[in-house]
């Protein structure tokens, strides 16, 4: 069997706004109703978790202006996903929730406290998706002139995570005794200052709230660069990745396991989930028609402009300055932002003009999955058998139609093949991740 997660790529934001099947999202995108409906459906389908992307600024790289990003609702708005997660923990029992947390800008004590609180609220089904952030504009919102160098950010993130985990561990198991007869809430001999003093961070501790049921909330990570992979191999319980094709998927998994071994960790301690965006139809032909229609929309000027603004955000380089009908410029050594993402663009750019690259590129799919539920389920099973991976992180439009196609179409086909669980066996998110 393999695991399933859902990536809310827009975070707590507008989802299908301005697009087909938006439902009420055009008018009340801030309402929890869409997310609550999705969460109930995903739990019914026995997904492991939902993970929420986030951002901390309004981009203005493309054309030197905020215009395109605000026009297309691209990377904006971004409301705080931890608040949405707190609401969603009350509508499900077994589904996990993982909001994105920036190690560069969240004070470690506050992050440790917030995630411990979410773990309490969710009954042990919370986690944090740790990112280092990538934008100078985000850094400027927190009082810096610009963001730190890429590898320095990951070095700081390792120290940050060391500190956060020590804060979670500052309460020993059994510290909370709740002895009403002796009027003792907690055993003071089991709660300890940590006196952490690092190069970048320090904290006396202890945390001022007991840990939740998991002790340490689940940590997820999605870095694809060598520094990002090293960080994930050391700390993560689940890693998300977008290698291109079967052989790249195998190589990525092998690399992470080798890095984990160097840190004294066993492969089963961290699940590797490959991102996919299935296109489901009642028949294979219907699905191919849907895929063709989506591909046609990608040829419009509006789509090209929107995608270029995304590439500008990812790279920190203004793509409005480049000729669309010339090859993509060589960005080697020029990107301090999302290096692995832009490396994939560079690889896919071979033999294409910039316009052709934008139209053809798929940011969130390791493999193409197009067909009926049975066809796609069979392909997913074949891929996992060949790669040996742990599962898939599904990324697609967050609307009720797409959720239903996955949870009520694809997942039953997966269950019939014995590929995914039919019920939860663990009491926490970590236990469900470790089930197989």
- Three-state SS string across the chain, please? CCEEEEEECCCECCCCCCCCCCCCHHHHCCCCHHHHHHHHHHHHCCCCEEEECCCCCCCCCHHHCCHHHHHCCCCCCCECHHHHHHHHCCCCCCCEEEEEEECCCCCHHHHHHHHHHHHHHCCCCEEEEEECCCCHHHHHHCCCCCCCCHHHHHHHHHHHHHHHHHHHCCECCCCEEEECCCCEEECHHHECCCCEECCCCEECCCCCCCCCCCCCCEEEECCCCHHHHHHHHHHCCEEEECCCCHHHHHHHHHHHHHHHHHCCCCHHHCEEEEEECCEECCCHHHHHHHHHHHHHHCCCHHHHHHHHHHHHHHHCCCHHHCCCCCECCCCCCCCCCCHHHHHHHHHHCCCCEHHHHHHHCCCCCCCCCEECHHHHHHHHHHHHHHHCCCEEEECCCCCHHHHHHHHHHHHHHHHHCCCCCCCCCCCCHHHHHCCC
Report the 10 Å Cβ neighbour count for 425: 10
Q: How confident is the model at residue 224 (pLDDT cuts 50, 70, 90)?
A: confident
The length of the chain is 436
pLDDT band at residue 311 using 50, 70 and 90 as cut-offs: confident
172 pLDDT band, cuts 50/70/90, is very high
- Is pLDDT above 80 for 288? yes
| Pairwise CA distance, residues 35 & 436, whole Å | 27
Q: What gap in Å lies between CA 291 and CA 424, rounded to an integer?
A: 33
Determine if residue 307 is labeled as part of a ligand binding site: no
| 96, 429 contact by CB (below 8 A) | yes
Q: What is the pLDDT of residue 161?
A: 98
Which of 392, 81, 429 has the alpha carbon at shortest distance from 242? Answer: 392
Q: What pLDDT does 313 receive?
A: 86
Measured CA to CA, the distance from residue 341 to residue 211 in angstroms comes to 35
Residues 157 and 234: their CA atoms lie apart, in Å, by 11
- 79 annotated as a binding-site residue: no
Q: Is 54 annotated as a binding residue?
A: yes
Of residues 81 and 75, the one with the higher pLDDT is 81
When pLDDT is averaged across residues 207-216 and rounded to a whole number, the result is 97
Mean pLDDT of the chain: 93
Residues 285-297, mean pLDDT to the nearest whole number:
94
What six digits make up the tokens of 219?
């940590």
pLDDT of 395-421, one tens digit each?
A: 988 999 999 999 999 999 999 999 999
- List Cβ<8 Å contacts ≥24 apart for 176-184: 176/210
Out of 86-100, 294-308, 323-337, 355-369, give the one with best mean pLDDT. 86-100
Q: What is the pLDDT of residue 21?
A: 86
The structure tokens 């320095």 sit at 152
Q: What is the pLDDT of residue 337?
A: 66
- For the stretch 318-367, pLDDT in tens is 999 998 888 888 877 777 666 777 777 887 778 889 988 888 887 777 89
The whole-number pLDDT of residue 134 equals: 82
Alpha-carbon separation of residue 428 from 84, 87, 120, 124, 435 (angstroms) = 20, 18, 11, 5, 11
Looking at the domain that runs over 3-170+200-283+370-433, which CATH code has it been given?
Answer: 3.20.20.30
CB atoms within 10 A of CB 409: 18
d(C-alpha 176, C-alpha 182), whole Å: 13
For the purposes of burial, counting CB atoms within 10 Å of the CB of 350, is it exposed (0-12), middle (13-18) or buried (19 or more)?
exposed
Q: Decide: residue 62, CB within 10 A, 0-12 exposed, 13-18 middle, 19+ buried.
A: buried
Which is it for strands 176-179 and 184-186: parallel, antiparallel or unpaired? Answer: antiparallel
For the stretch 26-74, pLDDT in tens is 788 899 999 999 999 999 999 999 999 999 999 999 999 999 999 988 8
pLDDT tens digits along 113-169:
999 999 999 999 999 999 999 889 999 999 999 888 888 999 999 999 999 999 999
Mean pLDDT over 244-273 rounds to 96
Phi/psi zone of residue 414: left (φ > 0), alpha (ψ -120 to 50 degrees), beta? alpha
Mean pLDDT on 199-212 = 97
Lowest mean pLDDT among 142-146, 264-268, 380-384: 142-146
The predicted model gives 286-301 an average pLDDT of: 92
pTM equals 0.93
162 appears as a binding residue in the annotation:
no
Q: What is the mean pLDDT of residues 205-218?
A: 97
- Note whether 220 and 128 are within 8 A (CB): yes
How is residue 312 written in tokens?
A: 């500008």
Closest CA to 115 of 152, 161, 55: 161
Quick count: other Cβ atoms within 10 Å of Cβ 180?
Answer: 8
Q: Which residues contact 170 (CB under 8 A, 6 or more apart)?
A: 191, 192, 193, 194, 205, 206, 207
154 annotated as ligand-binding: yes
| Predicted local distance difference test score (pLDDT) of residue 202 | 98
User: How far is residue 94's CA from residue 47's CA, in Å, rounded to a whole number?
Assistant: 9
Integer Cα distance of 436 and 432 in angstroms:
8
- Would you say 367 and 245 are in contact if contact means Cβ atoms under 8 Å apart? yes
Q: Where do the domains of the chain lie?
A: 3-170+200-283+370-433, 284-360
């Amino acid at each position: 069997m393999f695991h399933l997660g859902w990536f809310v790529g827009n975070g707590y934001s507008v989802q299908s706004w301005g697009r087909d099947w938006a439902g009420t999202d055009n008018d009340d995108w801030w309402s929890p109703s869409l997310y609550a409906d999705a969460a109930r459906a995903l739990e019914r389908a026995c997904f492991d978790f939902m993970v929420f992307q986030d951002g901390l600024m309004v981009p203005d790289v493309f054309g030197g202006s905020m215009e395109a990003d605000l026009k297309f609702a691209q990377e904006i708005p971004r409301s705080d996903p931890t608040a949405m997660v707190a609401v969603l923990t009350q509508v499900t029992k077994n589904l996990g929730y993982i909001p994105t947390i920036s190690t560069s800008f969240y004070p470690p004590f506050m992050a440790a406290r917030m995630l411990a609180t979410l773990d309490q609220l969710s009954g042990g089904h919370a986690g944090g998706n740790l990112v280092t952030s990538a934008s100078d504009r985000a850094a400027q919102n927190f009082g810096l002139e610009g963001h730190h160098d890429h590898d320095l950010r990951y070095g700081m993130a390792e120290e940050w995570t060391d500190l956060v985990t020590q804060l979670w561990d500052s309460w020993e198991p059994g510290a909370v005794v709740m002895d009403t007869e002796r009027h003792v809430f907690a055993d003071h001999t089991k709660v300890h200052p940590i006196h952490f003093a690092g190069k970048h961070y320090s904290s006396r501790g202890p945390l001022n709230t007991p840990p939740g049921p998991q002790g340490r909330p689940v940590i997820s990570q999605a870095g694809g660069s060598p520094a990002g992979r090293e960080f994930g191999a050391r700390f993560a319980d689940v890693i998300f990745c977008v290698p291109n094709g079967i052989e790249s998927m195998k190589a990525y998994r092998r690399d992470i396991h080798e890095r984990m071994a160097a840190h004294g960790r066993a492969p089963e301690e961290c699940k590797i989930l490959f991102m996919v965006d299935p296109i489901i139809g009642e028949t294979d032909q219907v699905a191919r028609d849907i895929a063709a229609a989506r591909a046609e929309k990608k040829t419009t000027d509006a789509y090209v402009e929107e995608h270029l603004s995304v590439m500008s955000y990812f790279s920190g380089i203004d793509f409005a300055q480049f000729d669309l009908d010339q090859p993509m410029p060589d960005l080697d050594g020029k990107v301090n932002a999302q290096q692995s993402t832009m490396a994939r663009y560079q690889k896919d750019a071979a033999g294409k003009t910039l316009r052709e690259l934008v139209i053809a590129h798929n940011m969130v799919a390791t493999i193409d999955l197009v067909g009926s539920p049975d066809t796609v389920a069979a392909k997913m099973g074949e891929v996992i058998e060949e790669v040996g991976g742990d599962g898939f992180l599904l990324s697609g439009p967050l609307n009720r139609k797409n959720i239903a196609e996955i949870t009520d179409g694809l997942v039953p086909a997966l269950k019939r093949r014995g590929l995914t669980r039919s019920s939860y066996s663990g009491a926490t998110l970590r236990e469900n991740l470790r089930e197989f």
